[in-house]
């Protein structure tokens, strides 16, 4: 009975001890195999670190490209805003094509000392405000809108849109 109780207590302890340090051989001798396997594992680690460096370099290049694109976009917006502000000050006589920053376009029909009448022709459904004040020759497609509005002219600037 004592042997059975001891075997029930000692056997689990031996199993735990063997699993806790699996690199120790049970016969007490030295073990040469793990050293070779660690050498084999060192090569993939070097490959992995060089791969990681490549990925990091690509991420940095992508971030730099995104910064350059953002700077170009901001410069384009500033250019359109400056053009809009300059063209707001131009004379709006009868027959002049005018546009708003929100991409509406029309033709001046009447001019009075404190206001103008604009015959609205359409609107560009562009997500970019000020689309008609860009240096690019590509003007967005217009959706037709018809109507006459009287305005003080502070939101309509002279533009070069072929209607």
Distances in Å between the Cα of 121 and the Cα atoms of 84, 91, 97, 146 are: 19, 20, 10, 5
Report how far residue 108's alpha carbon sits from residue 115's, in angstroms, rounded to the nearest whole number.
Answer: 11
SS3 106: strand
Q: Among 30-34, 81-85, 132-136, name the one with the lowest average pLDDT.
A: 30-34
* Average pLDDT for the chain: 79
Q: What residue spans define the domains of the chain?
A: 47-163
Q: What is the pTM of this model?
A: 0.60
Query: Within a 13 Å sphere around the CA of 91, how many CA atoms are in the beta-carbon half?
Result: 3
């Amino acid at each position: 009975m004592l042997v059975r109780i001891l075997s029930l207590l000692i056997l689990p302890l031996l199993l735990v001890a063997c699993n806790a340090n699996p690199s120790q051989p049970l016969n007490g001798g030295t073990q040469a195999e793990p050293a070779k396997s660690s050498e084999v594992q060192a090569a993939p680690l070097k490959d992995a670190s060089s791969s990681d460096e490549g990925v990091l370099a690509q991420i940095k290049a992508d971030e730099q490209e995104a910064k350059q694109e953002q700077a170009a976009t901001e410069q384009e917006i500033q250019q359109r805003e400056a053009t809009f502000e300059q063209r707001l000050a131009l004379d709006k006589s009868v027959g002049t094509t005018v546009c708003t920053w929100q991409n509406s376009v029309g033709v001046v029909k009447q001019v009075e000392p404190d206001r103008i009448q604009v015959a609205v022709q359409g609107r560009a459904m562009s997500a970019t405000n000020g689309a008609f004040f860009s240096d690019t020759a590509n003007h967005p497609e217009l959706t037709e809108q018809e109507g006459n509005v009287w305005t003080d002219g502070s939101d309509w600037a002279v533009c070069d849109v072929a209607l």
